[in-house]
Amino acid sequence: MAAPRSPTRARERERSHAPAAGSDQVHSWTLATSQALDTVWRMAKGFVMLAVSFLMAAVCYFRRLHLYSGHKLKWWIGYLQRKFKRNLSVEAEVDLLSYCAREWKGETPRTKLMRKAYEELFWRHHIKCVRQVKRDNYDALRSVLFQIFSQGISFPSWMKEKDIVKLPEKLLFSQGCNWIQQYSFGPEKYTGSNVFGKLRKCVELLKTQWTEFNGIRDYHKRGSMCNTLFSDAILEYKLYEALKFIMLYQVTEVYEQMKTKKVIPSLFRLLFSRETSSDPLSFMMNHLNSVGDTCGLEQIDMFILGYSLEVKIKVFRLFKFNSRDFEVCYPEEPLRDWPEISLLTENDRHYHIPVF
C-alpha cells in the first residue's frame, strides 16, 4: 500500500510551477502587443507613404497647372494689350540726351558725331525733348501733319479760296489730266476710274480734320486729339494720300503757269529740269506714286510739301553736323508770315519731331 503524499511537498511543487505559468502568460501578452504595434506601425507607415506620394503628385499637378495657367494668362494679357492699346505712330516726348545715349552707344566715328549733334541741339538750339515717329515711308508726311494739327496751324491761303474737295474733278475736267487715273495710294497700285472717288474722300477727310484742329484753342486738347487720330492707321494713311495729292495739284498748277511764261518759284524750275519729273505726269509716276510704298519724300519733295502747305519746314540733319547743311529749310525762301515747324533726321530718310 502506497504511502500518502506529503502536503508540504505538494505545495512546494505547486509553487515551483506557478512562476513558470505566469512567465508564459506575460510573454504571450508581450508578443501579442509587439505584433499589434508592429501591425499598426506598418499600417501607419503605409498610410504615410501613400499620403506623401499623393501630396507629391498633387504638388506636381498644381505646379504644371500653375505654369500652364501663367502661360495662358500671359498670352491673353498680351493679346488684350495689342487689341486695346493705342498704337501711337507719334510717341510721347522723351528727354533728348537720354534718347541719344540709348540710341548711339559705342565709340565709332559716326556714333561720336551723332552724340555731338544731339548735344548741339540741346545746348545751342534749346531742344530738350524728342518725339519718335513711326519708321515707314510716310514718316515725313506724318511728322509735318502732326505738328500742323498739334499747333493748330491754319489752312494755306490758297486753300481758303478753293474747295479742295473738288480738286480731283477739277484736274480731270478743267485741265484734262485724265492720267490721274494712274495715281497709286501707297502700296495700292492702279485703281482706274475709282481713283477720283477715293481721292475725294481722302481730301475731304483732310479738310474736316484740319478745320476741327484749327478751331480748338486749347493746346492740351489738341494734343489729346492728335493721340487719338495718330493711333488710327486707316485714317492716317488717307490723310497722307491727301497731302500727296495736294502736292501733285500744286505741281500741276505751277506747270500750267510755266507753259504760259509766268514766273515760277526756283524749286519748281529745278523739279521740271529733271528727266524723271519734267511734267506732272512723270513726277507722279516716277516719284509721288512710290511715296508710302517703296520710299519716302526726297529733299525736293520736302520743298514742294512746304510750298503747298505754306509752312517753313526746318530740318536738323544730324549726320551733316559741322557743315553748312546741318540746318536747312524747305522751302529756302519762305514768305515771312508762314508758320515754322521743325524736324530732325539722322539719315534724310526717317524723321522725328524735336520739342523746344
**Residues with Cβ within 8 Å of residue 329, at least 6 apart in sequence:** 306, 312, 313, 314, 315
Mean confidence (pLDDT) of the chain: 87
Predicted confidence at residue 49, as pLDDT, reads: 81
> Residue 25: is its pLDDT beyond 70?
no
Question: What average pLDDT score do residues 239-263 get?
Answer: 95
51 occurs within a structural domain: no
Lowest mean pLDDT, pick from 30-44, 126-140, 183-197, 214-228: 30-44
Question: What average pLDDT score do residues 243-262 get?
Answer: 95
Please state the pTM of the whole predicted model. Answer: 0.76
Lowest mean pLDDT, pick from 16-20, 46-50, 284-288, 331-335: 16-20
53 occurs within a structural domain: no
> Residue 82: is its pLDDT beyond 70?
no
Predicted confidence at residue 356, as pLDDT, reads: 92
Residue 9, CA distances (Å) to 3, 5, 17, 21 in order:
13, 8, 13, 19
290 lies in which domain range?
90-355
For residues 92 and 230, the answer to whether their CB atoms sit within 8 Å is no
pLDDT band at 8 (very low <50, low <70, confident <90, very high): low
pLDDT band at 53 (very low <50, low <70, confident <90, very high): confident
74 occurs within a structural domain: no
Reading the block at residue 346, the C-alpha cell is 539722322
Q: What is the three-class DSSP state of 216? A: coil
Measured CA angle at 158 (ends 133, 205), to 5 deg: 50
Question: What average pLDDT score do residues 327-351 get?
Answer: 90
27 occurs within a structural domain: no
> Which 8-state DSSP code applies to residue 130?
E
251 occurs within a structural domain: yes
Predicted confidence at residue 260, as pLDDT, reads: 92
Chain centroid to CA 185: how far? Answer: 22
197 occurs within a structural domain: yes
84-131 residue pLDDT tens:
445 789 999 999 999 999 999 999 999 999 999 999 999 999 999 999
Predicted confidence at residue 38, as pLDDT, reads: 76
CA Rg value for the chain: 44
Look at the chain and report how many structural domains it folds into. 1
CB atoms within 10 A of CB 143: 26
68 occurs within a structural domain: no
For residues 283 and 277, the answer to whether their CB atoms sit within 8 Å is yes
> In the block, which residue shows the cell 498610410?
47
* Maximum average pLDDT range among 29-33, 84-88, 253-257, 333-337: 253-257
For residues 131 and 95, the answer to whether their CB atoms sit within 8 Å is no
Q: Which residue has the higher pLDDT, 87 or 26?
A: 87
Burial 252-283 (b: 16+ CB within 10 A, else e): bbbbeeeeeeeebbebbeebbeeeebeebbeb
> Which 8-state DSSP code applies to residue 4?
P
Q: What is the three-class DSSP state of 356? A: coil
127-181 residue pLDDT tens:
999 999 999 999 999 999 999 999 999 999 999 888 999 998 888 887 778 898 8
Phi, psi of 331 (to 5 degrees): -75, 170
Q: What is the dihedral of CA 22, 25, 30, 31, to 10 degrees?
A: 140
Side-by-side strand order, sheet with 90-95:
90-95, 129-133, 351-355, 340-345, 312-317, 327-330
72 occurs within a structural domain: no
272-331 residue pLDDT tens:
999 999 999 999 999 999 999 999 999 999 999 999 999 999 999 999 999 999 999 999
For residues 130 and 344, the answer to whether their CB atoms sit within 8 Å is yes
Q: 173, 172, 162: which is closest to 203 by C-alpha?
A: 162
Reading the block at residue 94, the C-alpha cell is 522723351
Predicted confidence at residue 75, as pLDDT, reads: 61
> In the block, which residue shows the cell 511764261?
261
Question: What average pLDDT score do residues 53-78 get?
Answer: 73
